[in-house]
Amino acid sequence: ELPYVILEQNNDTNKPFKIGLPSISVNIPKILGRVTNEMDIVFLIDATMSMEPYFEHTSNIAENFMRTFKDKDVRFGIAVYRDYNHKEKCFEKLVDLTKDIKIIKKSLKKKVTTKPEYSDIKNDPALYPEAVFQGIQKCILTMDWDSRSDARRLIIHIGDAGNHSRNKDRINEKDLARLLYQGDFSYSAILLLDDTDELKERIEARNQFYLEMKNLINYTDKMWIDNLPIIYNNNQKKINEYKQQVKKFECNSRTAGSINYSLCNRGRWVLTTVNTTDGYEKTVEKHIKNLSEELKLQIAKMNNLLKNTKATGSKEIVNTNKAFKHKHQLDASFTQRTIKKVGEEMLKKIADGNENIRKKAIQIVQKQDLESATIYIKKRKGSLDNLQRNKLDQVIVDLGKSEFYLYLKKNAETFSTAHVLYNIKNYNLFKKVVLLTRTEIEYMMEPLIKFRDENNGEIERENLLDILKTFLKHIPGEEFFEKTSFEELYYWQRGISLQHEHELLKMPIEEIELGLDNIKAEDLQKLQLHMMNTLANLDKIYTKKPKGDFVVYGITYFWIPVEY
Top pLDDT among 8 and 517 is at: 517
**Exposure string (b/e) for 11-24, b if CB count within 10 Å is 16 or more?**
eeeeeebeeebeeb
What are the residues whose beta carbons fall under 8 Å from the beta carbon of 399, sequence distance 6 or more? Answer: 342, 343, 346, 347, 361, 364, 365
Give the whole-angstrom CA distance, residue 154 versus residue 269.
9
pLDDT for 179 equals 92
- pLDDT one-digit tens code per residue, 224-260: 888 777 666 677 777 777 676 665 445 444 444 444 5
Q: What is the pLDDT of residue 12?
A: 60
Instruction: Dump pLDDT digits (tens) for 527-540.
Output: 899 889 888 988 88
Angle at 345 between CA 146 and CA 373, to 5 degrees: 90
Residue 145 per-residue DSSP state = -
Task: Supply the pLDDT for residue 139.
Answer: 95
Specify the pLDDT at position 208.
85
Nearest to 476 by CA among 500, 452, 499, 493: 493
The mean-pLDDT minimum among 240-244, 324-328, 342-346, 454-458 falls in: 324-328
Whole-number pLDDT of residue 333: 64
Contacts of 225 (CB under 8 A, 6+ apart): 242, 243, 246
Looking at residue 402, what is its pLDDT? 85
d(CA 160, CA 48): 9
Going by pLDDT thresholds of 50, 70 and 90, the confidence category of residue 319 is very low
C-alpha–C-alpha distance, residues 66 and 101, integer Å = 7
pLDDT above 50 (res 126): no
> Can you state the angle between helices 367-379 and 386-409, rounded to 10 degrees?
100
Predicted local confidence at residue 176, as pLDDT: 94
Least confident of 279-288, 317-326, 486-495, 509-518: 317-326
- Cα–chain center distance at 429: 42
Number of H helices, E strands in the chain: 18, 16
pLDDT of residue 137: 94
The mean pLDDT of 292-308, rounded to a whole number, is: 47
Burial class (CB in 10 A: 0-12, 13-18, 19+), 34: middle
Residue 265: pLDDT band by 50, 70, 90 thresholds?
Answer: low
Average pLDDT over residues 116-141: 69
Q: Which of 25, 372, 46 is nearest to 208 (CA)?
A: 46
Beta bridge partners of 114: 48
Across the range 450-455, mean pLDDT stands at 90
Q: Tell me how far apart the alpha carbons of residues 261 and 318 are, in angstroms, rounded to a whole number.
A: 47
Note the pLDDT of residue 150. 79
CA nearest neighbour of 276 among 27, 453, 56: 56
The pLDDT of residue 125 is 47
Q: CA–CA separation, 86 vs 117, rounded Å?
A: 7
- Of the two residues 234 and 495, the one the predictor is more confident about is 234
- Cβ pair 495, 305 in contact under 8 A: yes
Name the residue with higher pLDDT: 111 or 541. Answer: 541
Report CA torsion sign: 494, 495, 501, 506. Answer: positive
Which carries the bigger pLDDT value, residue 407 or residue 8? 407
Q: What is the mean pLDDT of the chain?
A: 72
Percent of the chain with pLDDT over 70: 58
Question: What number of other Cβ atoms are within 10 A of residue 149's Cβ?
Answer: 15
Mean pLDDT of 94-114: 76
| pLDDT band at residue 1 using 50, 70 and 90 as cut-offs | very low
The whole-number pLDDT of residue 141 equals: 93
Examine the pLDDT at 216 and tell me if it is beyond 60: yes
Q: What is the mean pLDDT of residues 117-134?
A: 60
- Strand partners for 245: none
Q: Residue 203: pLDDT above 60?
A: yes
Average pLDDT over residues 476-484: 60
333 CB contacts (<8 Å, ≥6 apart)? 152, 153, 184, 186, 268, 298
CA dist., res. 363 & res. 436, Å (int): 36
- pLDDT tens-digit profile of 460-473? 888 888 888 887 77
**Please, what are the domains in the chain?**
39-215+254-278 (3.40.50.410), 417-561 (no CATH)
Q: Within its chain, how far is the Cα of 307 from the centroid?
A: 15
Count Cβ atoms within 10 A of the Cβ of residue 534 and give its class: 0-12 exposed, 13-18 middle, 19 or more buried: middle
| CA dihedral sign, ordered 179, 185, 191, 192 | negative
Of the candidates 320, 559, 224, the one whose C-alpha atom is nearest the C-alpha of residue 418 is 559
